[in-house]
Every structure is written in C-alpha cells, then in structure tokens.
C-alpha cells in the first residue's frame, strides 16, 4: 500500500488556520467529506470518539487521527499542514502542526493497520517532515508525501 492509494492532491490542506484540536478535526472532517462523500458530522464523531480512547498526537508535532466508518468503499487520507501549531494532547506534550487523518471502512481490518504503519513510517522521517513544514503548496506537499523513495527510506 502506497500513500498515493490513500491521498490525492485534493485531499491536502496546505495552510490550515485553526486555533484548537477540535477546530482542526472539524476542518479535516469537512475536507474528508468532500473527498469520500460521507457526511462531515459522521466523520467528526468517529474521529472524536477515537480521540477519547487516547490521543492520536504521536509526538514530534505530528498527529494521525483515524477511524472506521461503515459506508466507506476504501481507505481515505487527508493531510493538513497547520499555519500555527495547536495543542493536541500529544504523548510528548508538544503542539501539533502536521496532521495525517486516515479513514477506513469498518471491514478494513489489516489494511487499516497497514495504512497506519505506512503513514507512521513516512512521518517518522525528520527530513521529510522538515520539507513538509517548509512548503505551503498543495502540489509540492502531495509530491513529498507520495515520493515512494522517501517512504522506503523512513
């Protein structure tokens, strides 16, 4: 599974202006609704339900919120680069400025875990994250995220 299987250039928010975790999740849900066709409230509710189980702020100013929805036909990703970091209750207590949201069908099982692992590997690479933070162009962000050599090196 490649990042390009999850993400399209239209599912990238290059310069998201939000002031809170909740607002970031609302904007990500809105964008995901445009991409996958499900109602943004259903997406938001699933994401927030998952957050109540424990933060998806994984450290190093990165969050990977995720959830499963019944009516999805495949896995979908939405990436946001925040204009200003927000508190995400991350495991390292650092504010978050890169968010990769992942949505999966309820029946995804191992595919959901494989996608989470792929995204996690990609965003563990400090050089890739520095480049993501250095660009506010959706096409450039998409290119960085889907560069298969970067995902293998991470």
Q: Which of 66, 81, 112, 118 is catalytic?
A: 66
- Known active-site residue 66: yes
3 state SS for the chain = CCHHHCCCHHHEEEEECCCCHHHHHHHHHHHHHHHHCCCHHHHHHHHHHHHHHCCCEEECCEECCEEEECCCCCCEEEEEEEEEEECCCCCCCCCEEEEEEEEEECCCCHHHHHHHHHHHHHHHCHHHHHHHHCCCCHHHHHHHHHCHHHHHHC
Catalytic residues: 66
């Amino acid at each position: 599974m490649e990042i390009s299987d999850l993400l399209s250039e239209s599912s990238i928010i290059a310069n998201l202006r939000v002031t809170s975790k909740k607002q970031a999740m609302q904007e990500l849900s809105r964008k995901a609704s445009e991409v996958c066709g499900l109602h943004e409230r259903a997406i938001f509710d699933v994401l927030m339900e998952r957050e109540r189980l424990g933060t998806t702020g994984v450290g190093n100013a990165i969050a990977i919120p995720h959830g499963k929805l019944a009516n999805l036909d495949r896995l979908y990703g939405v990436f946001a680069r925040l204009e200003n970091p927000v508190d995400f209750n991350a495991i390292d207590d650092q504010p978050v400025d890169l968010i990769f949201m992942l949505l999966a069908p309820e029946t995804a099982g191992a595919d959901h875990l494989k996608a989470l692992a792929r995204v996690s590997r990609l965003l563990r690479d400090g050089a890739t994250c520095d480049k993501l933070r250095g660009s506010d162009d959706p096409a450039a962000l998409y290119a960085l995220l889907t560069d298969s050599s970067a995902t293998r090196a991470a």
